[in-house]
Structure 1
Amino acid sequence: MIILDSINAVGHPLIQCTHSTTIELTKDDYLTKKGTCILGIKASKSCYDLNSVLKKKVKNGEKIDVVIKLDDTTDSFYGYGNKNLTLLSKKDLVFRKSNYICDRTILINCTKSSRELNRNIISKLTNSKKQISILFKVNDTYE
């Protein structure tokens, strides 16, 4: 597996991760109770900021593995890119179980939503301002 890019974000007491179809990271430094899909705030990158290699693979419709790390706990899922993804949001990025596409969408047809994530990670994020890392990986046939 090759790591294409990574994002850091922090937790917040209002993180719930109970949404059934999406996972979101935002550059915002606040969170409200309505943000049920948000995994982290103060994200280091949005869709717009991702590196060009990852963007190319996303726009080519490739399968992308996503690994979430917090301390010694990890979780993972995968999703797919699509040629119609614009990756233009300068504030957020959203992983979707559906095939809905907007400027904030990074991957579609993902295998997990926020409510399906490892609850140990969610608990740590709500009880502190711990930092999580999100890694974007692909299989490389040249490994």
Structure 2
Amino acid sequence: MTGDSDAMDEIDETDDDADKYTEVIHATGHEHVSAAHASTFEITTDDYLTPAGDCILAIDADRAPADFDPEFVAACRDADATITVTVEADGHRESVTGRGHPDLEFTNERSAVGRTSDYVDDRTVVVGASFAAEGFDRELVAALASGAETTVTLTVE
């Protein structure tokens, strides 16, 4: 029986991993990244950034919410889901955690937006975020402002 118990433990561990879904976006920083916005942060497929875009962390993203796997999207639509967004650039890394929402659409083909509020539109990928653009580590922001290659990993569980 001990062997069966060990097998069950392994299955349980696999099941825990099966409850996690991940999406990865590759993007680039830009000289106008200021990360000053108090309630949102954004990754965009646009290939430009003006100084007014103070929530944008990276541009020229290779993917947008409309490209995400349907299983990932379904998991994010659970109000009890925990969504973690990790931004990495030039050796710096910061994670922000929020939650899912039943009204998340994942239909936007340009931008992925994290929000500290509960507001949802077609760009929203996480609500109730623990912080917005202004909360990101300033060394990471400096790397983004220098145009560093950026990896954004979204995980839902």
Q: Same fold (TM over 0.5)?
A: yes
Task: Find out whether 1:72 has 2:76 as its counterpart.
Answer: no
Aligned-residue offset at 1:3: 5.6
Unaligned runs of 5+ in 1: none
Is the contact made by 1:3 and 1:135 (CA closer than 8 Å) also made in structure 2?
Answer: no
| Greater relative contact order structure (CA < 8 Å, 6+ sep) | 1
AA aligned opposite 1:13: E
SS of residue matched to 1:43? coil
Unaligned runs of 5+ in 2: 1-16
TM-score (norm 1): 0.90
SS of residue matched to 1:121? helix
SS of residue matched to 1:54? helix
Structure number, greater radius of gyration: 2
Tell me the equivalent position of 1:86: 105
Q: What's the % identity of the aligned pairs?
A: 27
Aligned-residue offset at 1:138: 3.9
* Deviation beyond 6 Å, 4+ runs, structure 1: none
Q: How many aligned residue pairs are there? A: 138
Q: Once the two structures are superposed, what CA deviation does each residue of 1:76-129 show, in whole Å capped at 9, x if it has no partner?
A: 1111111111111111010000001111111100001000001111101112x2
CA RMSD in angstroms comes to 1.4
TM-score (norm 2): 0.83
CA distance in 1, matches of 2:68, 2:138: 27
Structure showing the higher helix proportion among its residues: 2
CA distance in 1, matches of 2:87, 2:156: 15
